Amino acid sequence: MGNSRRFFGGVIVTALLTAPAVFLSGGCERAQIREVNVSSGDYYSEDEIAAMGEGAAGTYCRDLEATRASTQAEFEAKTQELASINQNITTARAKRDQLDRDLLATEAEIRTLNDQIAEVQKLPTEWRIRVGDDLKDVAALTQVYNDSLKWWKLFEANKNILLDPHYCLADTTIVIPRDWPTD
């Protein structure tokens, strides 16, 4: 190895006149290439690749390309999987939203039915027959059944005190059945 000294811009520079021995260890022995782990993000530098020789550098580049292709394929598969998951989420949200709407509608129906039940529960469960009333007249009353054709329900519920559905004694108290469902 020979050194030469040159005067450059007022500074003496010592230049190494031989090829750089970047990867030499222990003096004059052959270059030692360090091991890298591409999967952990460790790569050879351009200088290290240049020092490898064509065969090793070609193998490294092919391995690196294989790793890149494998990573790209895995990325594309995961992207497809993510798109599928996002579609499933969108579908599930749409179903949940429909169920929420159905639930609100059902709750409104329940409130309406509860209101109707409360109104029915306010209706009388007994009725005192007035002079001239028969069971058709009583069944036709709004607070009873609002339907004269339901006189038979009154008669069936009061057979023990009524002998004739068409003739009722005044001041007789009859039971008004409020069983569910009503016909």
Domain boundary (76, 102, 134) is at: 76
Report yes or no on 57 lying in a domain: yes
- Of residues 180 and 98, the one with the higher pLDDT is 98
What average pLDDT does the segment 8-13 reach?
A: 38
Q: Which of 62-66, 172-176, 178-182 has the highest mean pLDDT?
A: 172-176
CATH value at residue 170: 3.10.350.10
Residue 3: pLDDT band (50, 70, 90) is very low
Q: Which residues of 81-97 are buried (b: 16+ CB within 10 A; e: fewer)?
A: eeeeeeeeeeeeeeeee
Range of the domain at 156: 124-175
Give yes or no for residue 19 having a pLDDT over 50: no
Strand 3-8, strand 173-175: pairing = unpaired
What does the pLDDT look like over 109-160, one tens digit per residue? 999 999 988 988 889 999 999 998 899 999 999 999 999 999 999 999 999 9
What does the pLDDT look like over 65-105, one tens digit per residue? 998 999 999 999 999 999 999 999 999 999 999 999 999 99
Report yes or no on 15 lying in a domain: yes
